[in-house]
Amino acid sequence: MKIRGFRIELGEIEALLDQHPMVQEAVAIAHENASTDKRIIAYIVPNQDNTQEPQLQDEQG
């Protein structure tokens, strides 16, 4: 599909999100409102097996 002149593959977005360790499943859809403005919406199911909290990097180093 094309959004603002760019060719976008929803399957590639889903595959990239699925690679994240805290994501169990991901789905990406295209949404078009009345003004023909297209947007990508992604839904994720968090991985319940991963008990680690996300780690923030200290960039003040």
The whole-angstrom separation of Cα 44 and Cα 61 is 33
Task: Delimit the domains of the chain by residue range.
Answer: 2-46
Low pLDDT (below 70) residues in the chain? 50-61
Q: Which two tokens stand for residue 13?
A: 């977005």
Which fold is adopted by the domain 2-46? GMP Synthetase; Chain A, domain 3 (3.30.300)
Residue 9's pLDDT is 93
Instruction: Write out pLDDT tens, residues 37-54.
Output: 888 999 999 988 765 566
Residues 6+ apart with CB under 8 A from 50: 21, 22
Give pTM, 2 decimals: 0.68
